[in-house]
Amino acid sequence: MTKELVHIADIGLSLKDEREIFLIHDRNVAWVAEEVAKSTSVKGVISIDTSEELKTLETVEAIERQLIEAEASRSAIIIAIGGGITTDLAGFAAAIYKRGIRWCAFPTTLLGQVDAAIGGKTGANLDGYKNMIGAFHMPESTFICAEVLKTLPERQLKSGMAEMLKTFLLADEKAYLKALEDGPTQELIAKAAAIKEAVVERDPFEKGERACLNLGHTFGHAIEHEARGSITHGEAVAMGIVLAARLGESIGMSEKGLTERLKADFAKAGLPVECHYSLAQLKEAMAKDKKSGADGKVKFVIPARPGEYAFKQLNPNDLHFDTK
């Protein structure tokens, strides 16, 4: 359930009945953790460094050890404070500590607020492949607070814009156009979060509809893998959505001209739109994507036009179009 906070201190009221609160925070947002600790009494604070390289089981183990040392019981609750890396790792740590304790997400990136911290997917990377291990473990609450974005670097803000535009491209043309005009306002952040929450409620374990949120991610994850840390997740997603539209146009499922339109829109939002990798390079990475089935087919999300999408099962080896 998402909860909007006007001030960070308001979190204290939401947690007033908790006796055993553990904060797990990204070191870069220590100031948010300090503010939270002022408004409620906490039993322990665990600081972590974040990067895709550190988004591993080792980091999760280090968290588990600190919870054991601090004698966290099964009634403890974890508050994960940070971007998507932190909420994915801390949520995963909560999912497996003593076979599962409760947690709340307090996302401090725009990407976290509209996407990563909603829906209960938690996990870590393995051997350089994204989110290969993990668990579905729903946060009790996701706290959305515009105030925490004030220290977020511009590039990260734009990266979050990519996920926000993705959500609106799937379901809300009007909001898509407004987001391009106004940027990430509190109102639009809440709207994107609500759309994702509703999709997750209808299909929590991704048996069907929820897979729409992977728009741009099949190509995006492959691009992210090839780029080896030089681009952000949202930047990869933006490029991935453009490629999904290109694929859609090549098989007659996207409206004509959508690829060029999205390129212009994303460029306006300060996002990269040109993919520097060949289809052959991306196919190899896609083959290892956890979403490919036993028959090698991948469920692509094709943007039909702003506000509409369709699924298409395809073997990446059968794709033929120019990525550049």
State yes or no: residue 56 binds ligand NAD (CB under 6 A). Answer: no
State yes or no: residue 29 binds ligand NAD (CB under 6 A). Answer: yes
Q: Which is nearer to ligand NAD, 83 or 240 (CB)?
A: 83
Residue type, 82: G
By CB under 6 A, name the one of 60, 77, 79, 148 that touches ligand NAD. 148
Beta strand segments in 157-196, E? none
DSSP 59: H
By CB under 6 A, name the one of 20, 35, 115, 235 that touches ligand NAD. 115
Nearest-5° Cα angle at 60, 71 to 112: 110
Q: Which is nearer to ligand NAD, 225 or 233 (CB)?
A: 233
Stretch that binds ligand NAD, among 16-24, 62-70, 152-160, 306-314 (CB under 6 A): 152-160
By CB under 6 A, name the one of 50, 214, 254, 323 that touches ligand NAD. 50
State yes or no: residue 214 binds ligand NAD (CB under 6 A). Answer: no
**Dihedral angle computed from the Cα positions of residues 198, 199, 203 and 208, in that order, rounded to the nearest 10 degrees:** 160
Six-digit token pair at 50? 């974040």
DSSP 252: T
State yes or no: residue 86 binds ligand NAD (CB under 6 A). Answer: yes
DSSP 115: I
Residues 6+ apart with CB under 8 A from 299: 211, 214, 291, 293, 311, 312, 313
Q: Which is nearer to ligand NAD, 159 or 259 (CB)?
A: 159
Strand 298-305 versus strand 308-314 pairing type: antiparallel
Q: Please identify the residue of the shown chain whose CB is closest to the bound ligand NAD.
A: 84
Q: How far, in Å, CA of 70 to CA of 102, rounded?
A: 16
Among 323, 201, 210, 220, CA closest to 274: 323
Neighbours of 134 (CB within 10 A): 20
By CB under 6 A, name the one of 25, 102, 130, 166 that touches ligand NAD. 130
State yes or no: residue 82 binds ligand NAD (CB under 6 A). Answer: yes
Among 23, 34, 29, CA closest to 148: 29
Least distance to ligand NAD, CB of residue 122, Å: 6
Q: How far, in Å, CA of 191 to CA of 181, rounded?
A: 15
By CB under 6 A, name the one of 88, 226, 249, 289 that touches ligand NAD. 88
State yes or no: residue 159 binds ligand NAD (CB under 6 A). Answer: yes
Least distance to ligand NAD, CB of residue 232, Å: 6
Stretch that binds ligand NAD, among 107-115, 242-250, 263-271, 309-317 (CB under 6 A): 107-115
Query: 318 burial class (0-12, 13-18, 19+ CB within 10 angstroms)?
Result: exposed
State yes or no: residue 111 binds ligand NAD (CB under 6 A). Answer: yes
Least distance to ligand NAD, CB of residue 2, Å: 14
User: Under the rule (CB under 6 A), what is the footprint of ligand NAD?
Assistant: 26, 28-29, 50, 55, 82-86, 88, 108-109, 111-112, 115-116, 119, 121, 130-131, 148-149, 151-152, 156, 159, 233
